[in-house]
Structure 1
């Protein structure tokens, strides 16, 4: 199958999956056993194969011929319907299998009667739907000759592509003069009497490199030194003064604000910026409303002179009439030479194009057609990388896409060509992303789960389906169809360039709808399958009522940023439209105010992804356990949820269960049956009932982080041994949590026995132990065999009086210890072990001790903290009142925080001494003038007394 997926049309992947499922033995046996209309099913297969023969030709012609585009849309709708039908049949197969396994409490006679009645209704419904799909396909296929569609047109395989290393640009070509000119404007003191800040608009067409240029300026070392605060905000079409003000305020202060009071946020921002020189970048601005701009600018007048705002925009109207204080900087297209250098970087892997004489001439002509647009040049360079045949380059050069009139669409020909050469499975994954608004930060793991839910990932041997999804993302990143998020330091977040978003939207057309856009709820497209609502600040009932007419919806992806106060309205609305959407694969109600989920959720038999995070939901209906296809269940931060459904073990396909920050009392007894789980954020041990820790035994495939809560409720230590954490080799993070507060019921010895048996696999990278009641840690904690561990947190281990040899962990970067009340001394045992004497703490960068009431003595190797911690950058000592001595801070220390350590003296190990203090989260360096002055006065006093004493003894009189 893999070979057929290379370089095919978008619908090729869907059709191949359909054929594979209809050919499976289980599917065939079920159709025969239930006496479904096999003749009609065979006719459906024939029609689909006939359509498959011409879709390659149709996809190439659709952009020039609107009739072909409409034909493809009709075919896509029929294929979606066929997928729904096949999924419903396979779900019925799964239901019969599971209900046969779990049995029923009803009598056998009643059970047979119910099954017979259900089967008759099911068969009738399937035959009716199959007949309708065949009718649609027949109508479409009659038109293919009229449209001139040819069978057997082959796509040219695009070859293998480089990995994501191409995503990280090693240089930007042809923009140095522009960069220096704008930096000069930023560094020149602003003497304007009208206000204290300059506004520099960067204007240019889409894809010309405005964002790239702004990012180069934003990250320049000279700019970093010049401004006290720097903030980057992606704006796009939505210019919301409240949202932007709140985002800027949170970045500057490092705090989170929930209030919706614009005036309050503006006052706080004005205070935070007062007297500070700041740089604000507003990327991709479209708004030309002067009143909104005036409202937005109010807080920035408090900043220091020389503050600046950079605005990137495609609109000269934004630059000229709204907020310009200097002439706008119009970004021109790249020169041919610069464009060629950029092309060579990606097409020839930085090798001079001259060593490819047959390709250089073709390449230069291709670059000429890109019109100096970096995005177009880069996209085609990546496309042609590893294609060594001149005829393949000629195909790109001579494509009639270059001649397409620009007024027909706003998709650059180069970008369409990049899409056209994608393998079909990547095409449908790329098109799916039109569901996200422009500039939306997409999380890698979240997107993979969404793709899984819509069956867009093709299984590969010996690879988890999640790994396949990650490879797809890496491939799209390497082709520049995705790009790393410029406003986030998190490498797992990425975005789509505005033009790429336009391209994905053009491809998806009526099948995907963003309710955030200007949308007439009375004109919901009949073909729509995916709906998103990602930027709303309040619940819009009118928009959601329109969903009742879209009974074939596959995805509702919604995340209300601010909750509506009318909880009853949202509960009622969800209960009203949910039962009708039986084709849903993805349902996200994240951040809704709903308190309950209707029992009709059980009607959504095809559902694979359910997100109820940050809702007020109090309990889960038992009918959710009939959703046998469910892959992902997200319940993060559902603070009112106390229990999971008792029959959760029936969700045999569940792979991801996120219950982080959900105040559950215990885990259901059937948790151990979820053997396909890959994500389990918390495992809660109840006091008297629920699953014991033994249930973790069969969950061998857990990945990422796991927290085990309520360890104080472990009755039998043997249960911990059965759980066998050593076998969980894919876990990277482990938190062992005994309880919300410290309890004395268990003896220290039992705590030690339990923790001893909780030894994880040595692949672990982060370990956190909270409210452990033992006097010592077991040997595995801090053992040098845990060579991958990077972070350790020990919190509230009140009886512990001895630390482990954490210094022998070769990759340890962060160590935080808090609340070890019985610890008095930290000695050599902290640095060395009996079996290993390597140099301690070779990689440690952050060290924190806090709330250590009895700690008195801290020994260092060679008497110098720099010798014990050679790479230490951040040191924090808080509330350690008995710790005594003199602490010399090495030059590696970049930030130091101390409070409640009155008996400890600090100084810098340099010629000039420093005291380090913390105020409002900002580290400030202060010269220890008081300390030096006191010592100087002491010396002067001693000298004077000495002189007086000598004079008195000699009898000369010094008075």
Structure 2
């Protein structure tokens, strides 16, 4: 998995360079000449490392020292990103202190005099230490002979042809029939594109299915000319053109210097012919490729077809496919038949040792219906008749490791290598999920956002950007809808999970027991934690964790402490029915980078006031905190808070804290408890009117009269086009309120708010 690890490092360095150029960082250090100079040296050094990555990629396979060098460079890149995050956080805190304490005219002086110098004094030695490490890596780079631009991309040696033995395939008869029916129908005329796509994850058998259809006698009879072209990483138009001309003329294609000359030859050889062109393993979505295919179909006779195989639904859309066949995993019985064909000498297990058959059945189950995996493991076992050997393979972590020569991971490697850089880290982050873990789209987007993987644009929120990223990973078959959940549940195939883990290596893990110094992301998938002291000991192994995510329920009460290693966390998720937190310490306010905090199901009645110091906090989850009775007074200081989940919290009946209207980033606020009066202790309904970005569901509680109901309605709906469900709750009787008249008035006001799907009025 050399390349995927290298691709991840390249993506990581890209993020670092972007953060170095961010306005907040640049402005903050603009007057600090020494710091600015150190950061510039750091950038130059990192860019010099980035230039030799291709050569390092090639040499890592044979030189373990190069692999160690790459891992050390990753660690340095993470540390540089931490420094840049610290600068951005300090700039934000200084800005907030200035806004809270000084008049606007003195803000600039306040920032420079009160914040910058002490912070810079602490920061510069850390930057110098990173520079020393980079200098050491530069010396190693030169010693190992890594050079600029000498390495080349090493793609898997996979070159498909149209030939396949039908006796080698199982369970695809129905799929074959459907694809052939598509090829023999949908006769197009005029300029209509007649492209058909086979879509599915890597290794599922798209090429095999295309080969079966291509070789079928009915298809042969239907088309005058058939061309097979393997596209893979690059859609090179001249190569496709050359292949078509050679297939049409049965002669070697001469070299053409003029592209127009090629078009003339193509038109001459395709005109009047009903052709079938198979483009196997297409990745690109460029407009000129679609136009090229349309031109070919115009040359050919009516009924000509182009069959595309791809892992990405968006490729099928980009090609304007008129029909798409989504290839599913192989059924259980056919998995076994395929395994028999490859694992036993005569292609049958009839005469095999019963113990071996039993073990083989379990091995096939681990392959989870992926034909490529079944073939690879079967071929690995073909010459083995020793029960112990089969048992060792069953119990080993073979599928968790690079499987050289089997093409399982190389096939999936392309899925990662050809992801846009903005998706690489999002996908790699999912290495912390254990196999078969069901994850939620909205939840994962919030985690990505907390880790800084999503950048808001002028037209899209970070959440909307994250939704697009998620959909892109689904379209590339890296995420799949779970059969055990409806709508929102997704999983990664085991081999895709292996891919993610191989990308991050020791920097991410789904087990506390696997934490090492370099680990940045971890989830708790150990069967038993034991005592809190054991958890703390494991956490302290890491140098600077960024994510600590609980995924399982444990009956464990934790009066939480703050181990040094988790002060750097961006994500702290302790929301579990079995993981009961009885207290959050005041020191949580020192977690200045924290952007995501989930303490759902906790049994404390108060949050520490220090939580209001977390200026980076974006998501705070307090659902099912059965004893929580009030929120901290200074919540308004959490100016980056976007999602506040406080429902159900049955004992939370105190009015909202003061100045809630200042949280202008807030999108999720499950309930708002109205203050009876304009007071210094709580927020009145006017503060709700300032929260312009609210969406989803909102419950407004403790309304006292008809006037407050009208105010609540206006505050809830004004400039809130994304609000979908609204519940108004009164403390007075329906008789006093005159509920029917009020409801009629309320419903009349709903006309401009077409997204509002539900309104409830309760006593």
By the TM > 0.5 criterion, same fold? yes
Q: Deviations over 1:725-750 (max 9, x none)?
A: 042111222233335x9676645488
Specify the SS of the correspondent of 1:557: strand
1:698 is matched with which residue?
A: 690
The CA distance in 2 between the partners of 1:15 and 1:335, in whole Å, is 34
2:478 paired with 1:607: no
**1:464, distance to aligned residue in structure 2 (A):** 1.4
2:271 is matched with which residue?
A: none
Q: Deviations over 1:691-714 (max 9, x none)?
A: 222222222222222222233467
The CA distance in 2 between the partners of 1:598 and 1:687, in whole Å, is 31
**1:131, distance to aligned residue in structure 2 (A):** 1.0
2:499 paired with 1:510: no
**1:58, distance to aligned residue in structure 2 (A):** 3.7
2:638 is matched with which residue?
A: 651
The CA distance in 2 between the partners of 1:602 and 1:343, in whole Å, is 64
2:94 is matched with which residue?
A: 96
The CA distance in 2 between the partners of 1:383 and 1:143, in whole Å, is 43
1:343 and 1:381 in contact (8 A); partners too: no
The CA distance in 2 between the partners of 1:704 and 1:154, in whole Å, is 50
1:733 and 1:767 in contact (8 A); partners too: yes
1:174 and 1:338 in contact (8 A); partners too: no
Per the alignment, do residues 562 and 547 of structure 1 end up closer, same or farther by CA in structure 2, a change over 3 Å counting? Answer: closer
Per the alignment, do residues 463 and 98 of structure 1 end up closer, same or farther by CA in structure 2, a change over 3 Å counting? Answer: same
Q: Deviations over 1:596-621 (max 9, x none)?
A: 21111111111111111121131111
The CA distance in 1 between the partners of 2:314 and 2:685, in whole Å, is 52
2:435 is matched with which residue?
A: 438
The CA distance in 2 between the partners of 1:673 and 1:138, in whole Å, is 46
Selected match of 2:755 from 761, 764, 768: 764
2:207 and 2:309 in contact (8 A); partners too: no
2:388 is matched with which residue?
A: none
2:469 is matched with which residue?
A: 472
Specify the SS of the correspondent of 1:83: helix
2:734 paired with 1:738: no
Specify the SS of the correspondent of 1:85: helix
1:79 is matched with which residue?
A: 77
Deviates more, 1:139-148 or 1:640-649: 139-148
1:526 and 1:550 in contact (8 A); partners too: yes
**1:500, distance to aligned residue in structure 2 (A):** 0.5
Q: Deviations over 1:201-249 (max 9, x none)?
A: xxxxx9887xxxxxxxxxxxxxxxxxxxxxxxxxxxxxxxxxxxxxxxx
Specify the SS of the correspondent of 1:708: strand
Deviates more, 1:412-421 or 1:755-764: 755-764
The CA distance in 1 between the partners of 2:15 and 2:203, in whole Å, is 39
Per the alignment, do residues 74 and 337 of structure 1 end up closer, same or farther by CA in structure 2, a change over 3 Å counting? Answer: closer
RMSD: 4.2
The CA distance in 1 between the partners of 2:510 and 2:20, in whole Å, is 33
1:636 and 1:658 in contact (8 A); partners too: yes
**1:654, distance to aligned residue in structure 2 (A):** 1.1
1:493 is matched with which residue?
A: 489
1:628 and 1:652 in contact (8 A); partners too: yes
Selected match of 1:587 from 565, 572, 581: 572
The CA distance in 2 between the partners of 1:493 and 1:546, in whole Å, is 30
Higher Cα radius of gyration: 1
- Relative to the length of structure 1, the TM-score reads 0.52
2:631 and 2:657 in contact (8 A); partners too: yes
1:557 and 1:587 in contact (8 A); partners too: yes
The CA distance in 2 between the partners of 1:36 and 1:764, in whole Å, is 53
1:9 and 1:56 in contact (8 A); partners too: no
Q: Deviations over 1:650-673 (max 9, x none)?
A: 111111111120232221121111
1:677 is matched with which residue?
A: 666
Q: Deviations over 1:472-495 (max 9, x none)?
A: 1111111111111121122x2211
2:228 and 2:279 in contact (8 A); partners too: no
The CA distance in 2 between the partners of 1:335 and 1:458, in whole Å, is 35
Specify the SS of the correspondent of 1:732: strand
1:448 is matched with which residue?
A: 445
The CA distance in 1 between the partners of 2:61 and 2:717, in whole Å, is 56
Specify the SS of the correspondent of 1:675: coil
Deviates more, 1:649-658 or 1:24-33: 24-33
Q: Write out aligned runs for 1:105-254 (5 A).
A: 120-152=117-149, 174-175=170-171
1:811 is matched with which residue?
A: none
1:661 is matched with which residue?
A: 648
Specify the SS of the correspondent of 2:600: coil
2:15 is matched with which residue?
A: 17
Per the alignment, do residues 560 and 758 of structure 1 end up closer, same or farther by CA in structure 2, a change over 3 Å counting? Answer: farther
Q: Write out aligned runs for 1:352-751 (5 A).
A: 356-359=227-230, 409-410=402-403, 412-490=409-487, 492-515=488-511, 519=513, 524-534=515-525, 540-541=531-532, 542-564=534-556, 567=557, 570-571=558-559, 574-577=560-563, 580-591=565-576, 592-663=579-650, 664-665=652-653, 666-687=655-676, 690-712=682-704, 716=708, 719-720=711-712, 722-723=714-715, 725-738=717-730, 746=737, 748=739, 751=742
The CA distance in 1 between the partners of 2:207 and 2:473, in whole Å, is 27
Per the alignment, do residues 766 and 387 of structure 1 end up closer, same or farther by CA in structure 2, a change over 3 Å counting? Answer: closer
**1:549, distance to aligned residue in structure 2 (A):** 3.6
The CA distance in 1 between the partners of 2:746 and 2:490, in whole Å, is 39
Q: Deviations over 1:120-167 (max 9, x none)?
A: 5422321111011111222222233444544347999x9xxxxxxxxx
Structure having the larger proportion of residues in helix: 2
2:344 is matched with which residue?
A: none
1:484 and 1:493 in contact (8 A); partners too: yes
**1:84, distance to aligned residue in structure 2 (A):** 0.8
Specify the SS of the correspondent of 1:733: strand
**1:462, distance to aligned residue in structure 2 (A):** 1.1
Per the alignment, do residues 611 and 381 of structure 1 end up closer, same or farther by CA in structure 2, a change over 3 Å counting? Answer: closer
Specify the SS of the correspondent of 1:720: helix
**1:414, distance to aligned residue in structure 2 (A):** 0.7
Greater RCO structure (CA 8 Å; 6+ sep) = 2
Q: Write out aligned runs for 1:298-309 (5 A).
A: none
The CA distance in 1 between the partners of 2:704 and 2:606, in whole Å, is 25
**1:624, distance to aligned residue in structure 2 (A):** 1.2
Deviates more, 1:49-58 or 1:597-606: 49-58
2:22 paired with 1:30: no
1:641 and 1:662 in contact (8 A); partners too: yes
The CA distance in 1 between the partners of 2:6 and 2:715, in whole Å, is 47
2:569 and 2:591 in contact (8 A); partners too: yes
The CA distance in 1 between the partners of 2:225 and 2:438, in whole Å, is 40
Specify the SS of the correspondent of 1:480: coil
Q: Deviations over 1:634-691 (max 9, x none)?
A: 1111121121121111111111111120232221121111111122222222445622
2:695 and 2:722 in contact (8 A); partners too: yes
Per the alignment, do residues 151 and 680 of structure 1 end up closer, same or farther by CA in structure 2, a change over 3 Å counting? Answer: farther
